[in-house]
Amino acid sequence: MSETQNLENAHTSGVYAKRDLVIVRGEGATLYDDQGRAYIDCVGGQGAANLGHAHPTIIAALAEQSQNLISCPEMFYNPQRAALQKKLISLAPTGMNRVFLTNSGTESVEAAFKFARFSTKRRKIIATMRGFHGRSMGALSATWNKTYREPFLPLVPDFEHLPYNKLDRLEASLDEETAALILEVVQGEGGVHPGTSEYLQGAQQLCRKHGALLIIDEVQTGFGRTGKLFALEHHGLQPDLVTLAKSMAGGFPAGAVLIGERVGELPPGIHGSTFGGNPLAAAAALAALEIQEKEQLPQRAAELGEYFLDELKKMESPLIRDIRGLGLMIGIEIKQKVVPYLQALTERGVLALPAGMTVIRLLPPLVIKREQINQVVVALKEVLE
Ligand SMILES: *Cc1c(COP(=O)(O)O)cnc(C)c1O
């Protein structure tokens, strides 16, 4: 055990299952440990590192803005925040014209629920089985995994979970008392399950029919991950609220809720955040969006993701149950618990994530090189075949 490990072990809250690695530096899709050993990063900051590590444009934006102004609550106007709001709206589905800025995914989801209940004057919120929306009490009420939820009961009332990709079940439950339906376009944490167009578009129609609001949670799928800037573009969705975070500011903490026309007016004082919309995060997010465009990261994720999936599907192993994904969001479902396999991958210089007990999840930075993908495929073959 190194000094760092001893210190963290002595003082950590304990809520994280730790891996036996001290990460000290990153560049592109590569991470380095304290021994100087390199790893191909398919954890991608759990979705926060779509732009890769140490991107020079993000470094420059943070350095420059930090010399001018780091904190500035939203009671004042600020040019970085104004530019970010304008940029986000220009990229959002048509009809979305307001933004609430946050610092994390769970805060974005929390705000979306509050806006939905406030706007509709209704209480019921429908979420999905296997869905993940965060850990604060409201977002947790929409999250499915019982291990996350049960120690904290009672949660917020009037939440309901329905099976994902099952339109008939939604039709039976979504009614005039429903404030909102929250959906991921691809369920991430729940095992990388893509939604079908039929389901997602049908869900949107049902919301319209009953005056409920559709919240699309793009915290993990957003910012190029699935091969489009936002995954909702794959299905032509026009939700009422979109939640964002993770890679929004190139790895710096930032989040947002995009707000559509069907959400009523939100008067001063109804919600707020001290750090939300701070100029440092806004400058980083603006730089991150500039990089997305300049480096065509969504297109890159689409092309490399297709290549990656094709290569993975060539694997022949009785261990593998299913391989699925969209863009560079990939899940390999196996017939055993994944933890020993993740360990074996680490020994071969590849870092990957679990999604549930039996899915290996790959979320590499979108700047990953084709040659690095080939190396990951070789490591996965060694471990799984
Ligand atoms: C990670 C995630 C969240 C929560 O984000 P935090 O920043 O960890 O609070 C919410 N929704 C989805 C879909 C996520 O993947």
Is 178 annotated as contributing to ligand binding?
A: no
CA distance 333 to 324: 8
Residues 193 and 163 in one domain: yes
Q: Which of 263, 294, 325 is the last residue of a domain?
A: 294
pLDDT tens string 51-61 = 999 999 999 99
Range of the domain at 28: 21-54+299-384
Q: Which residue from 219, 241, 326 has its CB within 8 A of the most atoms of ligand 1, so it is best to mutate?
A: 219
Closest residue by Cα to atom 5, ligand 1, is 105
**CB-CB neighbours of 90 under 10 Å:** 8
Percent of the chain with pLDDT over 70: 100
Q: How far is the CA of 44 from the centre of ligand 1 (A)?
A: 14
CB-count exposure of residue 270 (10 Å: 0-12, 13-18, 19+): exposed
pLDDT of residue 205: 98
Residues 201 and 259 in one domain: yes
Answer whether 297 contacts ligand 1 (Cβ < 6 A): no
**Sheet with 213-217, edge to edge strand ranges:** 96-102, 255-260, 241-244, 213-217, 178-183, 124-128, 159-162
Answer whether 304 contacts ligand 1 (Cβ < 6 A): no
Average pLDDT (23-46) is 98
3-state secondary structure of 302: helix
Orientation angle between helical segments 370-384 and 339-347, nearest 10 degrees: 130
pLDDT of residue 131: 98
Residues 48 and 76 in one domain: no
Residue 216 lies in a domain: yes
Residues 208 and 244 in one domain: yes
Domain total in the chain: 2
Q: Which of 235, 264, 294 is the last residue of a domain?
A: 294
> Torsion over CA of 165, 167, 168 and 174, rounded to 10 degrees?
120
Residues 271 and 307 in one domain: no
Is 186 annotated as contributing to ligand binding?
A: no
Say which residue the tokens 């465009």 belong to: 293
Residue 185 lies in a domain: yes
- Residue 314's alpha-carbon distances to 41, 73, 132, 197, in angstroms, are 22, 52, 30, 27
pLDDT tens string 324-346 = 999 999 999 999 999 999 999 99
Q: Which residue from 103, 106, 363 has its CB within 8 A of the most atoms of ligand 1, so it is best to mutate?
A: 106
CB-count exposure of residue 335 (10 Å: 0-12, 13-18, 19+): exposed
CA distance 226 to 186: 9
- First-residue to last-residue Cα distance in the chain: 32
pLDDT of residue 158: 98
Contacting residues for 157 by C-beta, under 8 A, at least 6 apart: 123
**CB-CB neighbours of 71 under 10 Å:** 10
Say which residue the tokens 């910012």 belong to: 223
Residues 39 and 65 in one domain: no
Output the domain CATH number for residue 194: 3.40.640.10
Residues 242 and 331 in one domain: no
Residues 311 and 256 in one domain: no
Average pLDDT (28-39) is 98
Q: Place 142 in a pLDDT band, splitting at 50, 70 and 90.
A: very high
pLDDT of residue 211: 98
pLDDT of residue 293: 98
Encoded tokens for 86: 């304008």
Q: Which of 239, 259, 294 is the last residue of a domain?
A: 294
pLDDT tens string 58-104 = 999 999 999 999 999 999 999 999 999 999 999 999 999 999 999 99
Residue 13 lies in a domain: no
Question: 181-219 b/e with 16+ CB inside 10 Å = b?
Answer: bbbbbbbbbbbbbbbeeebbbebbebbeeeebbbbbbbb
Residues 134 and 276 in one domain: yes
pLDDT of residue 223: 98
DSSP conformation class of 175: -
CA distance 329 to 353: 11
pLDDT of residue 6: 97
pLDDT of residue 97: 97
pLDDT tens string 144-173 = 999 999 999 999 999 999 999 999 999 999
Residues 112 and 147 in one domain: yes
Residue 11 lies in a domain: no
Residue 7 lies in a domain: no
Q: Place 108 in a pLDDT band, splitting at 50, 70 and 90.
A: very high
Residue 33 lies in a domain: yes
Angle value at C-alpha 293, between 290 and 294, nearest 5 degrees: 80
Q: Which amino acid belongs to residue 272?
A: G
Answer whether 219 contacts ligand 1 (Cβ < 6 A): yes
Q: Which residues pair with 32 in a beta bridge?
A: 25, 38
What is the average pLDDT value for the chain, to the nearest integer?
98
Answer whether 110 contacts ligand 1 (Cβ < 6 A): no
Output the domain CATH number for residue 365: 3.90.1150.10
pLDDT of residue 218: 98
Q: Place 31 in a pLDDT band, splitting at 50, 70 and 90.
A: very high
CA distance 82 to 89: 11
Closest residue by Cα to atom 15, ligand 1, is 220
Please give the radius of gyration of the chain, using alpha carbons only, rounded to the nearest integer: 21
CA distance 283 to 66: 9
Residues 222 and 333 in one domain: no
Residues 130 and 216 in one domain: yes
Residue 16 lies in a domain: no
Task: Give the active site residues.
Answer: 132, 217, 246
